[in-house]
């Protein structure tokens, strides 16, 4: 009789233990907390660029980078093609503005790059744009072009990192979360050089005598260094050079009427925003406008 009651008694005790929560209770999984977040603005962006950035954010959202693992933006988000819902929008190609499917995706890669820097990720690959972009400071942009130009980084934390990407009003937000704690990081930029643009003047027969039209405002060339400052509990902040980028000068294009150009200098002094090293005339054969938006 005892051999028969033994298993039954043990099973009854197990049921009681589970009801009491002794054996069946599970310890809660570690909760992920934000490690870093970065935002960029949609101000001045076209509807197509915004739509593409948001569509790419949906593809990026939820990506998990294991401890010691590498992340590739192109592998996760690309390709940004029409069959995947991406629209034609302005995009920078070899320094010129053109319409292409997926224009605006670079805003997401730039936003992710900022979050990765602040989270202490090890950046393995990153490329600047030809011209500075409107949604990030020079040196903090990250251009991508599927499949050759990528943004890649490694997760140095002892736990996985989850990427969250979303739109918040007129902001694009990327957040990195993990169960591991990370050192607090800050980003610093330093302007190493500034090269003011020249003014290129073209006579325009369609303008009235003495009339002037600023066809392209131009922008100065820049050389910028980016540093990451890591604040650790052990000692003083550690400042590490991340990148040095050089952006070319974009010359200013001014069109003037066929007559009255003698007073050009006074017009230029009123319209110009930069200290200019030179002013020269463009012949009809020389190129005129250079686009700057990306």
What pTM was computed for the model? 0.79
pLDDT at 279: 43
- For the chain, residues with pLDDT lower than 50 are 1-3, 18-25, 265, 269-271, 273-294
Strand 96-101, strand 88-93: pairing: antiparallel
Per-residue pLDDT tens over the stretch 184-202: 999 999 999 999 988 888 8
pLDDT at 123: 98
Q: Are the C-beta atoms of 260 and 209 separated by less than 8 Å?
A: yes
Q: Is residue 212 exposed (0-12), middle (13-18) or buried (19+ Cβ within 10 Å)?
A: buried
Q: How far apart are CA 193 and CA 221, in angstroms?
A: 8
Q: Please give the backbone phi and psi of residue 105, each rounded to the nearest 5 degrees, phi first.
A: -65, -30
Q: Are the C-beta atoms of 53 and 173 separated by less than 8 Å?
A: no
At 257, list the tokens. Answer: 């009427």
pLDDT at 259: 65
Q: Are the C-beta atoms of 202 and 288 separated by less than 8 Å?
A: yes
pLDDT at 153: 98
């Amino acid at each position: 009789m005892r051999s028969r009651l033994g298993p039954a008694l043990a099973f009854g005790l197990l049921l009681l233990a589970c009801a009491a929560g002794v054996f069946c209770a599970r310890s809660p999984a570690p909760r992920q907390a934000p490690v870093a977040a970065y935002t960029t603005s949609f101000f001045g962006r076209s509807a197509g660029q915004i739509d593409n950035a948001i569509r790419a954010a949906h593809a990026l959202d939820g990506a998990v980078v294991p401890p010691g693992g590498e992340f590739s933006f192109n592998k996760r988000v690309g390709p940004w093609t029409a069959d995947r819902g991406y629209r034609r929008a302005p995009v920078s190609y070899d320094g010129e503005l053109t319409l292409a499917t997926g224009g605006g995706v670079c805003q997401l890669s730039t936003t992710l790059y900022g979050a990765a820097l602040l989270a202490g990720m090890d950046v393995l690959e990153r490329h600047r744009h030809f011209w500075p972009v409107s949604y990030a400071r020079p040196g903090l942009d990250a251009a991508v072009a599927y499949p050759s130009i990528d943004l890649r980084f490694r997760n140095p934390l002892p736990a996985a990192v989850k990427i969250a990407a979303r739109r918040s009003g007129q902001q694009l937000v990327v957040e990195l979360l993990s169960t591991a704690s990370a050192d607090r990081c800050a980003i610093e930029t330093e302007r190493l050089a500034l090269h003011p643009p020249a003014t290129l003047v073209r006579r325009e027969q369609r303008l009235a005598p003495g009339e002037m039209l600023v066809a392209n405002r131009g922008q100065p060339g820049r050389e910028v260094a980016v540093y990451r400052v890591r604040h650790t509990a052990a000692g003083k902040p550690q400042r590490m050079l991340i990148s040095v980028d050089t952006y070319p000068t974009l010359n200013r294009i001014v069109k003037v009427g066929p007559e009255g150009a003698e007073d050009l200098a006074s017009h230029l002094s009123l319209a110009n925003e930069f200290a200019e090293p030179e002013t020269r005339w463009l012949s009809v054969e020389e190129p005129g406008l250079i686009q700057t938006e990306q």
